[in-house]
Structure 1
Amino acid sequence: MSFISVFDVLGPNMIGPSSSHTAGAARIAYLAQKMIAGPLVQVDFILYGSFARTYRGHGTDRALLGGIMGFDTDDVRIRESFAIAREQGIAFSFTPDLKENEVHPNTVDIHMMNKAGQEMRVRGESLGGGKARICRINQVEVDFTGEYSAAIVIHQDRPGVVAHITSVLSRHGVNIAFMRLFREGKGDIAYTIVESDGRLPEAVAGELRENENVHEVMIVQP
């Protein structure tokens, strides 16, 4: 029997009319922007399902753009996110895709590019009640909610990498709540996501990068 809290019933503190279409959308983009170094110069959103049909009326577009600039779900700046993004020099677009139906009803693909030319694609799903899930990073299927502090390690699928990750975290006294590895295939690019009960020390990122098979490390704090 699953547990439902009063916060699941009432929904989160938020700007906008819908916990799924605004708060959940803002949460997806908020998590996505933490996975790439700023500042961003270009963001393209591809919307699916009900997101694609109602994104203007429900303010999903403003929420996504606000989240990508780091605004939380209750930040009043979400209302002015279009103007703020233009002031910050961020080019943006919204493209509804009404043909693809093999996805969650509230799904968005976010294609981000930063000033250094680095690009990243993230797919997220709004689950209701302001909750969200990142289900794809670039071409790798993942499962990440952002409810815990997390280290996302992009690396080659090689022996010893996971041991290196756990060793670094152990030295810093990090208590691992969940640890999962997702990969394109044996020996290919892999994503190890480690979620912790407590806040992760920022110093772990540099130490995790010391392994020759580690390409990038992202620390995502709730």
Structure 2
Amino acid sequence: MKYKSVFDIIGPVMVGPSSSHTAGAARIGRVARSIFGRQPEKAEITFYGSFAKTYKGHGTDVATVAGILDFDTSDLRLKDSITIAKDLGIDVSLTTAEELTEHPNTSRIRLSDEKGSTEVVGISIGGGKMEITEVDGYSLKVTGSAPTLMVLHDDRFGMIAGVSNVLTKYQINIGHMEVSRKERGKHALMVIELDSTIEDKVLHEIEQMPHIVSVSLLVPNP
């Protein structure tokens, strides 16, 4: 096995006890918060598999909520995150499910307020790393290791070329791209991993394109 850095061997800087059940869970929560784009009024969290069996002992519950509060994995406030969330007026609910999932360390997070909601499914794959496998019912793969552009758009011809042309205009290189849709001719979600982050003016230009529903940028967590 090849390692990209020493942190792949010794794990992340984190509040313990487990890189998979604590740090990975916190990063899932933090990406969910980033996709939602603001502090939620309600956070509904469901744990599956190993998460469901050991979430209290391994701190998966407080870690996930800490991520939703946008705390880093090394933030000492992690252990008090549920109390902090309640003090901020966030309604937090924690449940478990016996439903079998493809990965044992799986969580489903639904964040909502009066403006709308976002539902994210993530898995903790070890060493503090995670993957987002679903957003609002769209299947995808987001690791959070690179700046990631997420574009929800009408499922029409030319959309991929249009977004790519904007990125080319600003000399932004695409590392990986995938498109997911629930039903042909409705909406589709374009997920693009970039070699560098992008300025707000680029996001704005993409937002102004015809048939674009929403645009968001996920910046890598520390």
Shorter-chain TM-score: which interval?
over 0.9
Distance 2:148 2:198 in 1: 7
Deviation, structure 1 residue 117: 2.7
Distance 1:93 1:22 in 2: 18
The answer for the alignment partner of 1:109 in structure 2 is 108
Deviation, structure 1 residue 6: 3.1
SS of 1:164 mapped into structure 2: helix
Q: Residues 106-185 of structure 1 correspond to what in structure 2 (within 5 A)?
A: 106-114=105-113, 116-185=114-183
The answer for the alignment partner of 1:219 in structure 2 is 217
CA contact (8 A) 1:200 1:221 kept: no
CA contact (8 A) 2:153 2:212 kept: yes
SS of 1:35 mapped into structure 2: helix
Q: Which moved more, 1:13-22 or 1:183-192?
A: 183-192
Query: How well do the aligned residues superpose, as a CA RMSD in angstroms?
Result: 1.2
Deviation, structure 1 residue 81: 0.5
Deviation, structure 1 residue 80: 1.4
Distance 1:112 1:147 in 2: 22
Aligned residue type for 2:112: M
Q: TM-score, normalised by structure 1?
A: 0.94
Distance 2:169 2:76 in 1: 40
SS of 2:152 mapped into structure 1: strand
Give deviations 1:82-115, integer Å, cap 9, x for gaps: 1211121111111011x2113310000001103x
CA contact (8 A) 1:46 1:95 kept: yes
Runs of 4+ in 1 over 6 A off after TM superposition: none
Instruction: Tell me which of 186, 194, 200 is aligned to 2:198.
Output: 200
CA contact (8 A) 1:161 1:211 kept: no
Gaps of 5+ in 2: none
State whether structure 2 residue 76 is matched by structure 1 residue 91: no
Percent sequence identity over aligned pairs? 38
SS of 1:70 mapped into structure 2: coil
